Structure 1
């Protein structure tokens, strides 16, 4: 064995505390800290003065420390994921090099999904749901308890749709694209309808509206919902997207990869964040002032929902685009005013901009949708992005996303527990 700086280390001899410290590049006190944490074992030196350490064990720890300080993973694991889908740069984001907010302003959700998947636009495309898959998914969702959340229903619908597709294990690009165009409308169609004139055909935004609001949809509201879907299609390697890529790396089929994403998205730090913002806006509207509502959030030790984003130093471009549409909707004015009050009040404590969760909360509140509607919109929208990432991952080396853990527990052998 050879250390990069200290040359060969004889395997038979033991190291003194000073030698171990030099090899590890630490002080002697730190060597004994490694012993107390179980990362090194020691023996008393002959004559009882000082301790000695196994050279191989010390060198192994030195190698682990070098890997951790360099931020590199074990051989075979890729921490940086190559992608051609989304770029986030200087408070803007792009889908395949095209400004994502421009795409959402000019194209439907389905058209943007096709752009992500294939790099081609297909004007006017819609995604019909096949009757057999939809029937199976509806039966499965209908068997859930009444209090089930939207992501519960979407997960069950995805599993049911997979069971109805005997060709789901075909991971060729054409097969996965065919699955995507069937799965997304099946997820929407399996949700219980709210509006009396619910639809199973036409633009996806209209079909989704009838599952979220009991009001008759107007052109402006539908346009805002469709734009929200387009804006939320993808956002680089968010937590749910990473879960999808891990599943695809193991060659899980597209339904299973989407299910992995759905398992993450209902987190309050991810897809369910807009629901928290929605409830906050209703409280502000009820009290007429954001001050006491924000004070309660801060007193409870919670962050104010709908503010700030770790990837944007300035304004979230998704929020900016959605707010611009909401400002043209008279029905959105009360919720917009509440959102402005939240941003202005919170600015006294911390200079954070509104993020897309707050804009989505304004949309759902203004359209008579429940607080959970934002989570549904987010999950349906992001399914298209997950498919795009799964397709990319199917083209990579299998199981490449398999990092090795850096064991920090007690060093073996340990005695059997009593």
Structure 2
């Protein structure tokens, strides 16, 4: 039998958690030490095989994707269709609290009605794309922050408020709007081209809350990796936005918008994969989609009916359930807003999650260093003929 003993610090390193977390596992009976030193400073010893087995059991297989497991208290994604922010069911939280209050909960667990302070902004270049506008706004918030380099949780939260407000305001400034008020009001003023429904701003506010975090999504992992290097909060958010910008992540609602628009014009597609359906974690319906599609029912009967027909069609064809991208697309159409609205809402909302994970990563060592399997050319000789 393998009786190799390892220290508490080594166990924490194998599990990818803090030493304090290992102590917590022991106190809760999740992990049993193989040997306890008489000196409390020396800590406990653990069987290596027990720690390796625990690390393996915490890995969820997701259809061949690279898997990384770390401890987090920010959010929990359950395959059964539940998303929690610090223990709060997001489906209830986002419909009860403003996005600003949801962000405060994501950051430290407490809803807060404090005044969010913005930062000075000039008019952005009108050629900037939706993602570029958010990156530009983060940079503007950074250069006007005298405490930019601080890594304290308080400063991370302050930087998050400044950047989120700047991004929402920049969307409007790019079109000549200078709307104030909630983040949702500023976003709506920046994207609306006509007269949206009276409840459009409230609907966007709910969508922002639903999208504030989603555990270790690709963009969140990028943000945490940046935070682990000691990057400042603005750099952490920038890293997250850069990874979020692809059409398979933050911009995925655009393809779902095109699908729904085509369905409104003339019928349902009959073959090929459909954007807006299926999820790598949820076994069935994405809970965020459920909330958004309920909102659509109250906003526009026609869009709601077309979306329902599409969902039933895809259920029968593939068994796949709708995800948040379809919900965002349907909400965008129901409010009469342009195609890129979903990407803007997604990107601005997720800044809150990047800040939360940046705070949580403080205190950890530089730890995001996976190894690669080299598949290139073999070593080449540099010496001449013998």
Same fold (TM over 0.5): yes
The counterpart of 2:152, out of the listed 172, 175, 178, is 172
Query: Is residue 2:215 matched to residue 1:236?
Result: yes
Which structure: larger Rg? 1
Work out whether residues 118 and 162 of structure 2, in 8 Å CA contact, stay in contact via their aligned partners in 1: yes
TM-score (norm 1): 0.72
Aligned partners of 1:353, 1:111: CA distance in 2, in Å?
30
Query: Is residue 2:345 matched to residue 1:345?
Result: no
Q: State the shift of 1:219 in Å.
A: 4.1
Work out whether residues 172 and 178 of structure 2, in 8 Å CA contact, stay in contact via their aligned partners in 1: no
**Partner of residue 265, structure 2:** 286
Work out whether residues 127 and 204 of structure 1, in 8 Å CA contact, stay in contact via their aligned partners in 2: no
Aligned partners of 1:417, 1:107: CA distance in 2, in Å?
70
1:131-146 → structure 2 map (5 Å cutoff): 131=120, 134-135=121-122, 138=123, 141-142=124-125, 146=127
**Partner of residue 306, structure 1:** 276
The counterpart of 1:158, out of the listed 117, 127, 138, is 138
Cα gap change, 1:194/1:244 in structure 2, threshold over 3 Å: closer, same or farther? closer
> Cα deviation per residue 1:11-53 (whole Å; 9 max; x = unaligned)?
xxxxxxxxxxxxxxxxxxxxxxxxxxxxxxxxxxxxxxxxxxx
The counterpart of 2:107, out of the listed 112, 117, 122, is 117
Query: Is residue 2:385 matched to residue 1:415?
Result: no
Work out whether residues 184 and 204 of structure 2, in 8 Å CA contact, stay in contact via their aligned partners in 1: yes
Work out whether residues 284 and 290 of structure 1, in 8 Å CA contact, stay in contact via their aligned partners in 2: yes
Aligned partners of 1:121, 1:71: CA distance in 2, in Å?
36
> Cα deviation per residue 1:144-180 (whole Å; 9 max; x = unaligned)?
5x3x420022112222332232421111111211111
**Partner of residue 403, structure 1:** 370
Aligned partners of 1:370, 1:417: CA distance in 2, in Å?
62
Q: State the shift of 1:373 in Å.
A: 0.9
**Partner of residue 327, structure 1:** 297
Cα gap change, 1:177/1:191 in structure 2, threshold over 3 Å: closer, same or farther? same
What CA RMSD, in Å, does the superposition of the two structures yield over aligned residues?
2.5
**Partner of residue 211, structure 1:** 190
Aligned partners of 1:279, 1:373: CA distance in 2, in Å?
13
**Partner of residue 386, structure 1:** 354
Work out whether residues 117 and 162 of structure 2, in 8 Å CA contact, stay in contact via their aligned partners in 1: yes
Q: State the shift of 1:321 in Å.
A: 1.1
Aligned partners of 1:176, 1:248: CA distance in 2, in Å?
11
